[in-house]
Structure 1
Amino acid sequence: MALEAQAQSGASDAQLHEALTDATTCVLGCIQAGELVGYAIVARLPFDAELQAIGVLPEHRHLGVGGGLMNAVLQKAAEWQSERVLLEVRAGNVAAISLYKRWGFSVDGLRKGYYPAVQGTAGWEDAVLLSRTLS
């Protein structure tokens, strides 16, 4: 929860707690020099896996932590024999969308007005739906 407070992936305390106690959810972490610097939550669905959150400490961004976590998510989904990995992201989160596209995700659609406004903005923000088929 302390990492999430800095990473601001959007995961709530309740979602983090549930992820740690739910048998169909896996929490993956990246530890460097004894410090948790990033995490990902992936849930097992009947045929797919869903990336529910990914967060990296600001000072560790653009250093490969997100890519390492994404690789771990894809490995876990393959271990579960999932057909696809699904996710959604704020339309304004260009860095995350770019990361997901580099990892082979494609846009499936939009959820209009899905996310509440972030601090300092008005209105609601669309969610971009992405997926990647696993071979």
Structure 2
Amino acid sequence: MQLPVPSIRQRGTIALAAATVCVAACAATPAEPVPFKAVSADRIVKPGYTEPASGKVAVDIRRERTDDVIVRFRDALVYVDGERVTDLMNGERIVFYLTPGIHRLAVSTQFDPVRELQFIVTADPRYTNRASVRFDADHRIVLTRVAQ
């Protein structure tokens, strides 16, 4: 028994459907929402930034979760005012206690240059003291200030 040969139009439709499935399977999507977990104490190389003190304000930095295997297992190195403090893995967070004013928060990976953000720390409840670490479509690390 011989199967019929698809027409050129049918072959084009089949190829387009196969390409769409392949692209959809490769697209990065956010992982299921789960609570962020704290960075373990043994990975904090400068503990002074993570200890609450009088006159200091909490600054929350979170590494957004992703199911993209290209960046999922990369360490995101975190710096405060030029000093490496820790690294964040997928879905982790850390809280720094900093004096009000301008600080330099930065992130990097073994593949990316340092991305620095001038971060104004304020005790004013109208403003957020939270930042987000994520990876863009080109798998480059990004650090942004976010609303509560």
TM-score, normalised with respect to structure 2:
0.23
Q: RCO (CA 8 Å, sep 6+): is it higher in 1 or 2?
A: 2
Task: Please tell me whether Structure 1 or Structure 2 has the larger radius of gyration of its CA atoms.
Answer: 2
Q: Which has the higher helix share?
A: 1
Q: Which has the higher strand share?
A: 1
TM-score, normalised with respect to structure 1:
0.24
